[in-house]
Structure 1
């Protein structure tokens, strides 16, 4: 029986989606613009990286060719040397939006039929009835923020007032999200989680996908910094996913990074949440070593998105991509005969784009393993083709969305 490894490079889009105009994202291209910036020297940072974007192992799997399928051009320095070694293509999201859960659920074979609810880009942004209920039920003196904002910037701006007043910082973005930032020590981490559970219930009538706890530490004098204790409170997927089918079949499941939060801890098996990309990937490969036949390891690598995309940090994003590429040989070495690995993404977050939100993009699909014949799989009309393909590989009955490509 076969095994599978599914790796989501959070936000590594490869060119605007066909409906990007509906999101103000025509021309967005996370990977392509990073590669162009690096080729021109705008991706250099002293002590971090310099020169063209170097992703030789991903390029060999077909990443540059997948990007060409989505955007019409191979990004600088990403053409493979010789024939590609993997099956490569690009996928279009059918669900509305450009948020993390919708992308991951569709990857797992569940495409949302209706869009999520969003808060308007006004100030205040939240309905007063929601705000007052949160204050009353959370036992709060009030809230700060109440607007669209980048997470790091709003903590810098309001962190000192939060510590002084005890009012949590509540904000949102273009995603379907209600975020609450609070100081781990002055406010309390468990108290923040409890408040987010209240907010989760209050946000359900508004069809808000996620409530996110954003803990931070530090002082106004020394600066504030977010910690690794972020926690997402997502609604459950409204239908069966690849994970549900694998669990029903008695298969071994290991979820690494944000996967447990994204799927509301349903059918996510053993959950591991190490933190940084490198630690998540190491944990996934360690789990793969002990994974029995028929099992699945599903890992999200979030640093591309949170540390670099939202912060519009081109050199940092480029360095993160190069760091992942350096681990690709380890991924290849960990695969046994019969194993299938898939590398993909859930949306874009172009660090050269205006604003700090995700971008509506197509994503790469790179499939490889000891028995996978290199080939072009072209444009996939849904991320769900990945779930359908993994189900077929694992011998799981499939009645979800998508069509297998191997």
Structure 2
């Protein structure tokens, strides 16, 4: 058993930590205030190869292991939480499009996505369908060598800026999960419209509602066989939920480090406030929980990299790490006193950002159902 990162991974950590500190953190507040998409940072991340980690080598990707991708996500989150959405969605696109797309689709979309010039979103959630992803209302009907797509997708991260979307629609409603099919849909086609959502946090990512009114795409834009879409996205979610957990923990960890530095300097009653147990104990508890959650994340990614089941561990960290991170950042805000409550310090923004991923890619309640199912079988489920 080896808990050490490789020398290459340690060097990657140093490089990305410096990048996040110098190029992302100073601009994060501006992106949040203006809800401005960080195109410059996006292209810089593309230059660093961060969007090609899971994409095929022949299209400019690296096909790196998931553990390394987890390291990248955690480090980028220390500088700006919204930028981690690009890593998650590029990772899913590398897997889903890279494995299932037609050659023309992969050539058209993977190189610009990897370079940070094109943004690919993922469209699963609908106004009346979130956790119950097998019962989609969005329809795709085959007409000769085309599909006609009609429906609506809601809560789509990067929806206002994306150039294309990995869209999941039902091609056979009676088949439930086995009737869901994946498509690559360019978002400049006739019949596509977008409406922005005004979110509490992660404002730079441009979440949106996307409507598809008889949108026609070539049959070649189908990703994999009909009926395989649900299983494609669930496989992707198994690793992406761990990346979400590490993004949250990255934001919590940097908040904790800033707070530890602050309480050693801040004086009250004639001594640094770190000497008061009411200050030091919450920090010690948060550090303990963060370490435990982080190593569970990396164990899940290690299992995935070795081809072993990791659904249970993925669901465990997805319900635990976002909640733990919210609690930690909140405690850090409080330990900074009334200045912590202002937008002059980053805690209120990080708190708003992380809360969103207590919901996205599976709520805590659904994740606990998954854990129970993996532990005790389907007889533990309420449906």
TM-score of the superposition, structure 2-length normalised?
Answer: 0.28
Structure 1 or 2: larger helix share?
Answer: 2
